[in-house]
A and B are shown apart, each in its own frame.
Chain A
Amino acid sequence: MFSLVFAAAVEAHAAVPPEGPAGLLQKFGVEWQFVIWQFISFAILASVLYQFAIKPIIATVDERNAKIAEGLKNAAATTAKLAQAQQDAAATAKQAQVEAAKFAEEARKTAREFLDAQQKDATARANELIVKAQQAIALEHKKMLEEARLEVARLVVTTTQRVLAKELSDAERARYNAAAARELAEIKD
């Protein structure tokens, strides 16, 4: 029915060509009924497409954009956190280096002091040993001299005994005996 009405309208128009713009449009084959119905079809199509295709697509695209934006925002935050963590790690590493250097220096110092103390001890012990050895040598020397002196004295006495036994005359002996008798007679308690 619609198409019959449409065809009748077309025939009525075709019979008389209009003047002005309308005549221009007709000359080029542009008929306003077709254009209106095309507009209407297009509007229906557009609205259907919009409702069932474009809108969901736009919603999906918006959702993706939101996710992308959120992701980008998170990435920025993560990058910031990473940078912060790197900075913290660098600071910690630096501090650890400083402390390690300090401990190493203290250990070196302690080792030096220990070595010095050990050297001093060893030197003191060595000096002590030297002094003791010198004292022992001096004592030995003194003992040796004393023994030599005694030996010489013994030899002198023995020689004197032998000489006197041979050389003393009876008269000298008698004189000595008389003197000894006088000496012993005067011994008191």
Chain B
Amino acid sequence: MRASKQTQHFARQLFSLSLAAGQVSAERVEGVLAYLSKHPPRQPLAVLRRYQRLVATQLAKNRALVEHAGPVEDSALRLIEAAFTRKYQRPVAADARPAPALIAGLRIRVGDDLYESSVASQLAALSTPA
């Protein structure tokens, strides 16, 4: 069931209170959760779901998920962090995760944006018709 406009608005307000200098603050999130437990709203589950989605989205914006096949050096990760921090004008932290399906290369996901330079993607591009 879709959350009402009121619920969405309330969740957005809680989310904006959870930010510190444009980033999600763990302390502030804890404070918001404590408030909700003491003063539960009319639709608590809907509010919490909406709030959780907003927080996760914000966290994803500040996180670059780096999928790699084979070893990747720290210098490469630092280079990626610096490049995306510059690009998005906000701090971005790299989080490496192995993905053997790539065969070789990297796939980086920042929020809803996806960047890929891998052997698997290039072979897939060859096999799909133009």
Contact = CB atoms under 8 A, between A and B. Distances in A.
B103 A161 contact: yes
B117 A174 contact: no
Interface string B110-121: 000001011110
B103 A164 contact: yes
Contacts, number: 85
A180 interface: yes
A152 B42 CA distance: 60
29 contacts: A146-B129, A150-B127, A153-B126, A157-B127, A161-B119, A161-B120, A164-B103, A165-B103, A168-B103, A168-B104, A170-B70, A170-B71, A172-B104, A173-B70, A173-B71, A176-B105, A177-B73, A177-B76, A177-B104, A177-B106, A178-B73, A180-B118, A184-B80, A184-B108, A185-B82, A186-B83, A187-B83, A187-B87, A189-B87
Given A173-B71, A176-B105, A177-B105, 5 more contacts: A150-B127, A160-B123, A170-B71, A174-B71, A182-B79
Contact of A176 (B70, B108, B126): B70
Contact of B69 (A153, A173, A183): A173
Interface string B40-79: 0000000000000000000000000000111111001101
Interface residues on B, range: 20 to 34
A66 to B, nearest CB: 122
Interface of B: 68-73, 76-77, 79-80, 82-83, 87, 100, 103-106, 108, 115, 117-120, 123-124, 126-127, 129
